[in-house]
């Protein structure tokens, strides 16, 4: 549906607009990540490990907003690719500790470049200042 085809009352609802932009961004990001044989969840997990260090599967999923069933699948893929390592948690042997590997750090950089570029594409109608403002406003809404 084109914007002009939607009823004005609907187009004036921020929640509707956020949903439409989100759907477009999700599609564009998925296409971009597929082109580099990646996944947005891979990027999120690797970024969390890079910033916060080794952690449990549950905690990483919570930080990234990834459902635990998806986390298991993503971690299996990242482990098979050598981007993360699973080791028993010394404080609780029933839990695994997930650690970013050197290959995972390189992969994070490989995924970051196209993901950053696609942000510019998604927000191309906005100036740099407007993008910063939008990011601040969305952050406030989420907090």
| pTM for this prediction | 0.86
Digit-coded pLDDT (tens) for 123-132: 999 999 999 9
Cα–Cα distance list, 106 to 9, 110, 112 (Å): 47, 6, 10
Domains for the chain: give ranges and CATH numbers. Answer: 31-142 (1.10.10.10)
Residue 2 pLDDT grade (very low, low, confident, very high; cuts 50, 70, 90): low
Digit-coded pLDDT (tens) for 58-117: 999 999 999 999 999 999 999 999 999 999 888 888 888 999 999 999 999 999 999 999
Instruction: Supply the mean pLDDT for the chain.
Output: 93
């Amino acid at each position: 549906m084109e914007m002009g085809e939607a009823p004005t009352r609907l187009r004036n609802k921020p929640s509707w607009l956020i949903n439409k932009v989100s759907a477009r961004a999700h599609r564009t990001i998925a296409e971009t990540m597929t082109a580099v044989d990646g996944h947005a969840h891979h990027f999120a997990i690797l970024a969390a490990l890079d910033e916060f260090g080794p952690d449990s599967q549950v905690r990483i999923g919570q930080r990234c907003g990834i459902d635990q069933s998806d986390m298991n699948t993503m971690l299996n893929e990242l482990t098979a690719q050598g981007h993360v390592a699973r080791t028993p948690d010394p404080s609780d042997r029933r839990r695994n500790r997930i650690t970013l590997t050197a290959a995972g750090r390189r992969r994070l950089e490989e995924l970051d470049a196209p993901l950053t570029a696609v942000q510019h594409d998604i927000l191309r109608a906005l100036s740099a200042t407007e993008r910063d403002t939008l990011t601040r406003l969305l952050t406030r809404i989420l907090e």
